[in-house]
Amino acid sequence: IPTLVASSQPESPAADSPIKVSVDVSGTAAETVLLHYSTEQGAPFVTVPMQGSGTYTAEIPGQLAGTPVAYFFEALTSGDAAAAFLPDAGQPAALRFQVAIAKTGTSPVVINEIVPINKNIKKDPQGKYEDWIELHNTSDADILLDGYCLTDNEENLRKWPFPEGTKIPAKGYLIVWADEDGKDEGLHANFKLSKEGETIILSDPSNAPVDIVTFKGIGTDEAYARKLSDPTEWEIQLPSPEKANR
């Protein structure tokens, strides 16, 4: 039976670029070496013949940012008399990586302020102090947010789509309550903010991340917000919901 040893494997490849994988095969001669991969949980694996001798390579087509990929290798001897896998258990123990999250789109709508521990600053429409994410429309025109999504999960960029018809006014602000209270009136995301910190991603209708913000170490009733003097920089401030930052 052939012996398979992983060669260079991807860790966090760039979005939309072919992903090269390779495997070293030794021992009993292999007549066919196959790559099996899947880009959706529960989806059938796609099989691709690998090319080479000793070291075999193949490419997985470019994927969207944040896409999780599972894959494993199979080597077959002449006449498919014997097969070897890497990992040994094959599909159930498939190797995994995730396509890198990066800003691949542009939008005048940006994440402007994040408040992960709101105890006394602002109440939601139901009268509760909930954590929030504030967006800002930097343009001079109203923007319809149909197809835009927020997420705290890099593997699921479409986690919380904005309700159809949601608009953010020109130069305006919009608060999304991060409280998992989706049945309540108003904009309530289906995730909460971690007090320890995490990454929040805003994606446009084409599934391209247009803003990515990572925060940590934010105290009670504090905001992680863009500087008014330089919106490309972030700092801990007092919250300023639906107003210009400080």
pLDDT (tens digit, 9 = 90+) per residue, 199-244? 999 999 998 899 999 899 899 999 999 999 999 999 999 999 999 9
Q: What is the mean pLDDT of residues 189-204?
A: 94
Which pLDDT band holds residue 128 (cuts at 50, 70, 90)? very high
How much is the CA Rg of the chain, to the nearest whole Å? Answer: 23
Q: What is the mean pLDDT of residues 145-158?
A: 93
pLDDT at 55: 94
Going by the DSSP 8-state scheme, the letter that residue 230 receives in this structure is -
> Could you identify the residue written with the tokens 């302020």?
113
Which pLDDT band holds residue 173 (cuts at 50, 70, 90)? very high
pLDDT at 155: 80
Which helix (H) or strand (E) is 199 found in, with range? strand 198-203
Say whether pLDDT at 22 is over 80: yes
d(C-alpha 202, C-alpha 234), whole Å: 16
Query: What pTM did the predictor assign?
Result: 0.65
Which pLDDT band holds residue 147 (cuts at 50, 70, 90)? very high
Asked if 129 contacts 122 with a C-beta cutoff of 8 angstroms, the reply is: yes
Which pLDDT band holds residue 48 (cuts at 50, 70, 90)? very high
pLDDT at 12: 75
pLDDT at 106: 92
**DSSP of 135-182:** EEE-SSS-EE-TT-EEES-TT-TTSEEPPTT-EE-TT-EEEEEEBS-T
pLDDT at 15: 77
- Give the start-end residues of each E strand in 39-168: 46-49, 51-53, 55-60, 68-76, 83-86, 95-98, 109-115, 132-137, 143-144, 149-151, 160-161, 167-168
pLDDT tens digits, 72-126 = 999 999 877 778 999 998 888 999 888 877 787 899 999 999 999 999 999 999 9
